[in-house]
Structure 1
Amino acid sequence: MLKLSKNPSLVRLKTRGESICPISKVVDSFEISLEYIPRGVALSIEEFKKMVDSYRGREILHEELAVDIMERVKAAVNPPYVKVVVKSIYMGVEVEVIAESGGVPPVYI
């Protein structure tokens, strides 16, 4: 966790990860995006990467993964808004799962 002397209005982090599909038991590659509004503290890049890497070899559905990461970020830095997007391709079908907390997302102009 990083203590911030100045708060940016929004933080976005994106990386790739792997888990195991609990249905097919094969390696499931995914892209994960995290977006949150910091409130005095922020996740370090290393913390985010370790968090995502902790799912390697673990059986978990993408739907559960998105919610799990969102809950871990909320517990770590208590942001007023957080959004996690997990994307992958399974059997030729693009999958996108979104877990969001904290009300209305920021407006971009």
Structure 2
Amino acid sequence: MPKITYVAVDGTEQAVEVPLGTSVMRGAVLNDVDGIVAQCGGNAQCATCHVYVDETTLDKLAPAAPEEDEMLDFTACPRRPNSRLSCQLDVTGDLDGLIVHLPERQN
């Protein structure tokens, strides 16, 4: 299983194995990672699973779809060039080693 590292605002890291086909958001929820609210359950309708993808692993991702790109304008913390909705990041073998930083707040 690919390993995803979630980094809290205070720098605490939590590396978890996430099953293939699961979203980065679902991996956080299943492993009790604080900082991912996921109010809409992964439907790209709330932006409460916002993450900042670490610059060193950003190239592992395809560009955001138009729906995700639009929803990123509604995040509680400022949008950055490396902002993504973790519910829209499906875990594949290529994402092994992905690092995401959690924002200060989600809503």
- TM class by shorter chain equals under 0.3
Give the TM-score of the pair, scaled to structure 2: 0.26
Q: Give the TM-score of the pair, scaled to structure 1.
A: 0.26
Q: Say which structure, 1 or 2, has more relative contact order (CA 8 Å, 6+ apart).
A: 2
Larger radius of gyration: 1
